[in-house]
């Protein structure tokens, strides 16, 4: 299977071309945020306030990177468990966010929101934080600086590796994988 190269921001056309199990290389801008940042983003949406960045068409990477060593854009930057963002994700997808990168399964309501709003959930490899960070060429804190590694950051990435776990058609790579090995 060929690796698909995609560029941010994502369009509905690009999202619809992705299927669970596809390997992708992402180039462009992605944003970071974990649960504390997600709570602030969704609180702002509920209050009718503008977000610190327009997330329409964008991808959020669930990461709390380590500090950068001299000469590097970022320190080790491996994915964190996505379920912690599940309470906030449907609102961000309704706003227009198109993708998320993390690790682990998503809640049924997130999978439904992925289908409803034509979005995609990617997994990145846990345990490969140092290698992943080599695909990040620039890192800039945009908001919530007091959250430290969990601040909202803008990352410039080149050929960032990920795999489609949940596509906009309701397919789930983890479920499909388990079916292959289920004992009757």
* Distance (Å, whole) CA 137 – CA 149: 17
Q: Which domain holds residue 137?
A: 4-181
CATH number of the domain that residue 136 is part of? 3.20.130.10
pTM: 0.93
- CA distances to 87, 89, 142, 147 from 51, rounded to whole Å, are 18, 15, 11, 16
Total domain count, the chain: 1
Does 177 or 166 have the greater pLDDT score?
166
Mean pLDDT of 137-145: 94
Q: With bands split at pLDDT 50, 70 and 90, how would you rate the model's confidence at 71?
A: confident
HSE toward the beta carbon, residue 77, CA cutoff 13 A: 32
- CA distances to 52, 78, 93, 129, 131 from 143, rounded to whole Å, are 6, 20, 20, 23, 26
Which pair of tokens denotes residue 155?
A: 């990352």
Give per-residue pLDDT as tens, 75-101.
888 899 999 999 999 999 999 999 999
């Amino acid at each position: 299977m060929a690796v698909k190269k995609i560029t941010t921001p994502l369009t509905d056309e690009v999202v619809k071309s992705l299927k669970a199990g596809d390997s992708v290389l992402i180039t462009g801008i992605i944003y970071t945020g974990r649960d504390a940042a997600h709570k602030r983003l969704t609180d702002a949406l509920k209050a009718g306030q503008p977000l610190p960045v327009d997330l329409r068409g964008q991808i959020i990477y669930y990461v709390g990177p380590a500090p950068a060593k001299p000469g590097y854009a970022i320190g080790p930057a491996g994915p964190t468990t996505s379920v912690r963002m599940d309470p906030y994700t449907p609102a961000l997808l309704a706003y227009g966010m198109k993708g998320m990168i993390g690790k682990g399964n998503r809640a049924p309501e997130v999978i439904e929101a992925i289908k409803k709003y034509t979005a995609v959930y990617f997994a990145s490899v846990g345990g490969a934080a140092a290698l992943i960070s080599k695909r990040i060429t620039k890192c800039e804190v945009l908001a919530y600086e007091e959250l430290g590694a969990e601040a909202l950051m803008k990352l410039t990435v080149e050929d960032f590796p990920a795999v489609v776990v949940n596509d906009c058609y309701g397919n789930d790579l983890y479920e499909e994988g388990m079916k292959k090995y289920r004992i009757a």
